[in-house]
């Protein structure tokens, strides 16, 4: 059996792909042209993780790693950092963030570790919201912003207060939907989404993942609705709303 390839082999292969006798497509790429691929690979990795598919997760992690090495190679060609510098910087950061393992700081619980970590990062920031990427999905971005604000004490005192604010925002959305413009509805809907994230934070829930899970649950159930409709011999679109709701209830029971 051939010896397994290593990380150094990956770096050498990428250098060859970008070299004079390499691949025309790889040689044409730039950091900007690879942006959609980096995002796509990250989401495909997350999808494999959510599905619990170890084989797919292994493959997607490899694709994601390829993007890292690709960007490092392009930076090296411009006289910047290389893949070795990426690994070195990563390990220095990991060791620095775990003083209870590689040093003598007594951190006993996961909460202690997180608190220490957040404190170190906060001390290094130039401003409160520095370092939150605007390219994050909207819910994840909003949650990061609110968590930073909460760290200053700007937060509702308890879940019930946050829920009361949700009800207020829902009332404003209902009023806008009853007679407001599209822009007014959009504004109130955004406020409601943003306020709901308070509830997620109070209960240590990731809002982005929660909505992804809810969407996946809907897809599973509606796929069963379609299967039930097909079994009836009638197309899905030929069913009335009442019939579809009945199929939906049956799907939920299943």
Q: CA nearest 45: which of 33, 32, 31, 62? A: 62
Give the torsion sign (CA, 160, 166, 169, 170).
negative
Under DSSP, the state recorded for 53 is -
CB count in 10 Å sphere of residue 72: 20
Rounded mean pLDDT, 105-111: 90
pLDDT band at residue 2 under the 50/70/90 scheme: confident
Mean pLDDT for 163-192 is 96
CB 200 within 8 A of CB 213: no
Residue 12 pLDDT class (50, 70, 90 cuts): very high
Give φ, ψ of 70 to 5 degrees: -60, -50
| Tokens describing residue 2 | 């051939």
Return d(Cα 147, Cα 183) in angstroms, integer: 27
138 is written with which tokens?
Answer: 């909207």
pLDDT of residue 119: 85
Q: What is the distance between the alpha carbons of residues 55 and 47, in angstroms, rounded to a whole number?
A: 12
- Distance from C-alpha of 147 to C-alpha of 201, rounded to nearest angstrom: 7
Encode burial over 113-122: b for 16+ CB neighbours within 10 A, e otherwise. beebeeeeee
| Average pLDDT of the chain, as a whole number | 94
pTM: 0.74
């Amino acid at each position: 059996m051939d010896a397994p390839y290593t990380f150094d082999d990956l770096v050498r292969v990428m250098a060859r792909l970008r070299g004079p006798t390499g691949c025309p497509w790889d040689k044409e790429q730039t950091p900007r042209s690879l942006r959609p691929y980096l995002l796509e690979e990250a989401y495909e990795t997350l999808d494999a993780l959510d599905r619990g598919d170890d084989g797919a997760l292994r493959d997607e992690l490899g694709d994601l790693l390829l993007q890292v090495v690709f960007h490092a190679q392009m930076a090296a060609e411009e006289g910047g950092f290389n893949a070795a510098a990426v690994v070195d910087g990563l390990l220095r950061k990991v060791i620095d963030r775990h003083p209870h393992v590689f040093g003598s700081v007594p951190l006993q619980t996961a909460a202690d570790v997180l608190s220490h970590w957040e404190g170190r990062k906060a001390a290094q920031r130039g401003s409160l919201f520095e370092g939150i990427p605007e390219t994050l999905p909207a819910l994840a971005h909003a949650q990061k912003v609110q968590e930073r604000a909460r760290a200053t004490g700007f937060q509702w005192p308890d879940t019930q207060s946050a829920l009361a604010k949700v009800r207020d925002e829902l009332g404003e959305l209902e009023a806008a939907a009853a007679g407001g413009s599209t822009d007014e509805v959009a504004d109130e809907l955004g406020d409601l989404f943003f306020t709901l994230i308070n509830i997620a934070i109070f209960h240590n829930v990731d809002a982005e993942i929660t909505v992804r899970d809810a969407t996946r649950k809907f897809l599973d159930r509606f796929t069963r609705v379609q299967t039930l409709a097909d079994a009836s011999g009638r197309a899905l679109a030929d069913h009335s709303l009442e019939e579809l709701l009945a199929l939906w209830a049956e799907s939920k029971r299943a």
